[in-house]
Amino acid sequence: MRNHLTRRDFLTVSGLSVASLLGGSLLSSTIRQPTTAPARPNLIIIVFDTLSARHISLHGYPRPTTPNLDAFANQAFVYHAHHAPGNYTIPSTASLLTGFYPWNHGAYNNLPEANTATQNIFQAFQSHYTTAAFIQNLLADFILDQYDKFLDLHPKLDEFSLTSSQLYAAANRIFDKDNLAAALSTQNFLYSTRDRPGSLFFSLIDRFSAQALQTVYQRQYREEYPYGLPFSFLNNMLFAQRPVFDGVADLLIGLPSPSLAYLHFWSPHEPYRPHKDFSGIFADHPWQPLEKPAQVLGALGYSQARLNSARTRYDEGLAHIDAEFGRLIEQLRANGLLDNSTIIVTSDHGQLFERGIEGHSNPLLYEPLLHVPLLIRTPGQNQRQDIHNLTSSIDLLPTLLHLSGLPVPTWVEGQILPGLGGVDNPQRAIFAIDSKESSSNDPLEHYSLAIYKAEYKLTVYNYLHHERQVELYNLADDPEELNELSQRKTNLTQELQAELRSDLNKARQPIVF
Amino acid sequence: MNVFAWLVVVVFSHALFHFFWYLPSWLRYLTSLDILAIASYTFAISLIESVLLLLGLLVLAALLPGKLLRQHFSTQGVILVWMLSAWALLILSAINFFLPQIVRLQRALPGGELVISLVLFGLVILSVILAPYYLARRQPGFAKGVLALNERASFFLYLYVPLGILGLAVVILRNL
């Protein structure tokens, strides 16, 4: 992402040219050069998986989890009421990449297949930008596989890792043109590490080889990572944070200008495994989280002590990621990328440590799960701007197109963000959904739906064997969602339900509501 | 051929059993074409798994002393496949079912009782696995029985192998 040539650049380019003449350069063969002059800013989207805004000191969290993010915010647009449209990776990442709500892109269940094959951020920028994406989350990478033809660079998800499922990695490479079906068949079925694998012998060989490699690496890094190395259980991927962030920095520095880069880090997703420098840093912190009433939906029945302990480890992991983020920003600054790049920091969804529940594999739509950070730093920006309007992940695509001087397609559901060219609309409503077990081919019957409007949030939970639950909260007065208002504000409850119904009726697949 | 027949029976049957175990959940959110694609990959990969395992056993037979495996490959090889299958099934069951149960038992039972239960369980499993191999070497009647079963197992070759080849063809076409 460079605009000018230094002496060092000249020597590097000369070296690469000789190398490419001799053996063919990887860069020249895989990265297409954009057709337009590089007057537009680079766009770098950094997504931290499972990063809840409710755990960021920037948004008032009592533990100092994110000093580097706070410093970055001092030169950025900070969106205080930004929300993910789903509570887990598949729907929310697909929304971020397509600008559609989940009920319109269709990827709201366990199948990461968005029905927007030609309507996505990479297609929208492809003619004007070099497009690159690196994702560490297997489920998000499934989505990306569908947009491969619009990507100039798409390193495999284990590119900077120590080890991962060898059979899945092999299948991913061999069946490169049919990645989604191959992944559903291999990683989700034949070699599944989460449930009963369909393969009797190879799945065991895969598990044992992964286990053996993991043991070797865990021993090697025991000093550095006292709780074990960071790990993605989706594909048995083990990694150390520093090589991943360094790899990403090298990737960004090597891209031509202008480029659109989408970077999706696995951390701070569970299991929470901070570096030794961050392990235990919040063990003696005096702040204690509020104890909230148990929620029967998705109930795990965890004790408050267990939830508090998991929360502390998550916060320590987050502090580690924040430090790596700080290093990444410094590397970009040293290479001049901060001067010609718009940098976006956000997340796909949050994490819950309350009401007897830990995690995000549940049907709940509470704020720790949906309230995610959004920070946008434009090239050379040195002032902070705080925006308190309701915004959604679907707004990113139109905003970036607008910032790049490109037309916003009519199919985009999101709006240009306020502060960056969008209008200030206090009456705007935004939505979120969870319906993991539903078919995207039939009307939804079992779901969690939320509508946000002004300071109010209405949530409807509709599941088999559970009484239909409607919850209304005033987030301005009650950000912890403890004071349920639907019985006291029946008119408002009905109005919001009507608005939710009206928007859902426009969906590609109707919802029984 | 007998050894391959048993490998095919074990590998394909296990995959199909779990395929149908998952099917109701897939029907909730996958299209018929998606499910057919999974079936194609399942058959293709099961065929490859069977062939590679057969190659592994042939290499083992070539390396080991003749009387251990090579001289009576059609009976001892088949028993080895059974033993390996039983072992793999037990390990997978342990991972998927028994280990969580053991964790629960650990909470419920005093330490000593749990250890004794686990040791007894392990001895039973070991004897179940080793008995056929011993019987085949010492009891000619048992070896005859194995051969008779082999004939029946070969029937599955005509069912599963064409499915595997069909799956392989679909997979190749999808990846062209």
% pLDDT > 70, chain B: 76
Better-predicted residue by pLDDT, A170 or A457: A457
pLDDT of residue A226: 94
Q: Measured between alpha carbons, how far is A200 from A205 in angstroms, rounded to an integer?
A: 9
List residues bridging with A42 in a β-sheet: A341
Cis status of the peptide bond prior to A271, with omega within 30 of 0:
yes
Which pTM value belongs to this model? 0.83
Element (H, E) at A133: strand A130-135
Q: What values do phi and psi take at A239, rounded to 5?
A: -155, 160
pLDDT band per the 50, 70, 90 thresholds, residue B137: low
pLDDT of residue B101: 60
Instruction: Select from A394, A382, A470 the least CA-distant residue to A432.
Output: A394
Question: How confident is the model over A216-267, as pLDDT tens digits?
Answer: 898 899 999 999 999 998 888 999 999 999 999 999 999 999 999 999 999 9
Element (H, E) at A329: helix A304-334
**What distance lies between CA A289 and its chain's CA centroid?**
25
Q: Write the single-letter amino acid at A375.
A: L
Q: Describe the crossing of helices B2-29 and B140-174 by its angle, rounded to 10 degrees.
A: 50
> What is the largest distance, in Å, between two alpha-carbon atoms of chain B?
59
B14 touches chain A (CB under 8 A): yes
Which residues, 6 or more positions from B109, have their beta carbon under 8 angstroms from its beta carbon? Answer: B117
Which residues, 6 or more positions from A10, have their beta carbon under 8 angstroms from its beta carbon? Answer: none
Angle (nearest 5°) at CA A422 between A416 and A425: 110
Question: How confident is the model over A325-335, as pLDDT tens digits?
Answer: 999 999 999 99
Q: Is the pLDDT of residue B147 over 90?
A: no
Q: What values do phi and psi take at B151, rounded to 5?
A: -60, -40
Cross-chain CB nearest to B53 (options A181, A189, A201) = A201
Question: How confident is the model over A266-291, as pLDDT tens digits?
Answer: 999 999 999 999 999 999 999 999 99
- Chain B residue with CA closest to A179: the answer is B175
Q: How many CA atoms within 13 Å lie on the side-chain side of A469?
A: 19
Q: Is the pLDDT of residue B59 over 80?
A: yes
Q: Count the Cβ atoms, other than its own, within 10 Å of residue A430.
A: 25
Element (H, E) at A139: helix A138-145
Q: Mark residue A481 as left, alpha or beta (left: phi above 0; alpha: psi -120 to 50; beta: remaining).
A: left
B23 touches chain A (CB under 8 A): no
Q: What is the DSSP string of A190-234?
A: IT-SSS--S-SSHHHHHHHHHHHHHHHHHHHTTTT-TT---EETT
What would the mean pLDDT of B68-76 be, rounded to a whole number? 73
Judge contact between A403 and A377, C-beta under 8 A: no
Q: Is the pLDDT of residue A57 over 80?
A: yes
Q: Compute the nearest-CA separation of B140 from chain A (Å).
A: 30
Contacts of B30 in chain A (CB under 8 A): 111, 184
Judge contact between A190 and B15, C-beta under 8 A: yes
- What is the value of ipTM here, to two decimals? 0.78
What would the mean pLDDT of A47-69 be, rounded to a whole number? 97
Q: Describe the crossing of helices B140-174 and B32-63 by its angle, rounded to 10 degrees.
A: 130
Could A197 and B175 be called an inter-chain contact, meaning their C-beta atoms sit closer than 8 Å? Answer: no
pLDDT of residue A167: 79
